[in-house]
Amino acid sequence: MVELGCTKLMSARADHVKQSVGQFAEQFRSAMIPLSNTFSYFCASVPLSEEDLKEYLEEPIAALPPTIAAVLPKISIMLVPYLERVDASKNTPASEFVCTERPPDSRQFWASQVRIAEEEILLFALKDQEVAEYHYRFYHMIASLMADRWSDDAQSSYFALLREELHAGLHGEVDEESWHLKQGLLRRQSNVRKETKLFRDYARHSFTDTLTLYLHGICCDIDVETGPRQLASRYLRRRLNLLYAMYPPPQGYAVLPEHLKET
């Protein structure tokens, strides 16, 4: 099987290497391999076969809705062995590193982001990470970038849907972060539909989490786990249909069964 686009990480150095994500991004930025006008990549982890290249890069990018791809900044994807996060202490700020050896479980994490000029560099740890988890984290980063770029019309439509949900007292959310922000809004604000900083923070994370699910669902067959914090499926379906109207998937892709008829 042909191996493509992968560099042995800093092979001239010692076997165990740890470098800050910012330094790593700067050092290997010039080695990026173009995938499209928007995306490029650099692999410093396990060698990528042609099938890996499709699974990790080509297929997830091809599934992005054209209206999203059109507004994204230049994005470089760096695939690395491991990422380590060191929490802030009294005298030092929090820091993130690219590593060649697995860090302690308490410090291991899976994705990081660096901005250099107008370019967003997304780093993903590949070792010990399932492809499905990688896809989720990739789309979550794309959704976060879109939360900085969604149009006024898209924002107004999503805000209106959230206000309907809050007015109806609907329980649950899509993911943990938006769920916690929703609980904070409900505890601290009597008029939960009023557009305050609390509401906007909650709405932004709710949009990010829901768009992550939507994008992941375009690319892959996924199941939504039920649980006490999960938004009921019929209301989740309403959100996904709203996103489908705002950001139609590429030709031939669908999210919900009824979308298959349209494709």
Per-residue pLDDT of the chain (263 residues; tens, 9 = 90+): 334 455 554 443 334 578 999 999 999 999 999 999 999 999 987 678 899 999 999 999 999 999 999 999 999 999 999 999 988 777 777 799 999 999 999 999 999 999 999 999 999 999 988 999 999 999 999 999 999 999 999 999 999 999 999 999 999 999 999 999 999 999 999 898 889 999 999 999 999 999 999 999 999 888 777 778 999 999 999 999 999 999 999 998 888 777 776 65
Prediction pTM value: 0.90
Residue 140 domain-assigned? no
Residue 142 domain-assigned? no
Residue 48 domain-assigned? yes
Residue 176 domain-assigned? yes
Residue 192: what pLDDT? 86
Residue 143 domain-assigned? no
Q: Please, are residues 47 and 79 in contact by the beta-carbon 8 Å criterion?
A: no
Same domain? For 22 and 129 the reply is: yes
Same domain? For 254 and 157 the reply is: yes
Residue 179 domain-assigned? yes
Same domain? For 67 and 158 the reply is: no
The domain tally of the chain equals: 2
Tokens standing for residue 135: 């896809």
- Short-list 235, 162, 243, 164, CA closest to 203: 162
Same domain? For 188 and 229 the reply is: yes
Same domain? For 38 and 107 the reply is: yes
Domain holding 131, by residue range, is: 3-135
Same domain? For 98 and 162 the reply is: no
Same domain? For 130 and 187 the reply is: no
Reading phi first (left if > 0) and then psi (alpha if -120 to 50, else beta), residue 123 is in beta
Same domain? For 128 and 156 the reply is: no
Residue 262: what pLDDT? 64
Same domain? For 125 and 79 the reply is: yes
